Amino acid sequence: MVSKHVLEFPTEYPIKVIGRPSDEFRARVHAVVLRHAPTLESERVSERLSGQGNFLSISYTLHAESREQVEALTAELKACDGVLMLL
């Protein structure tokens, strides 16, 4: 039997954005996230540099109100210059 996990909204939604470390990358990603989650608090954002410093991951925990909000956010992040991966 296959189980489908369906999100119920509102929900706490974690998302991680990975790219090359730079102030420009960080600013672009933050701007996109804040367009979709304008009330995001700074303590719900964390960053981690890879061991060799080649990649930066920015993690967000958003209070998502709808599937449409999450889909719009992920679509814009995927199109964002410098984003290599979303988790």
Average pLDDT over residues 27-54: 97
Question: Which residue, 35, 32, 38, is CA-closest to 58?
Answer: 32
Indicate the pLDDT class of residue 6, thresholds 50, 70 and 90: confident
- Average pLDDT value for the chain: 94
pLDDT of 2 above 60: no
pLDDT of 71 above 70: yes
Residue 36 CB contacts under 8 Å (≥ 6 apart), including other chains:
62, 69, 72, 73, 76
The domains of the chain are located at 11-86
pLDDT of 3 above 50: no
pLDDT score for 7 = 84
Classify 11-86 by CATH class. alpha beta
pLDDT score for 12 = 96
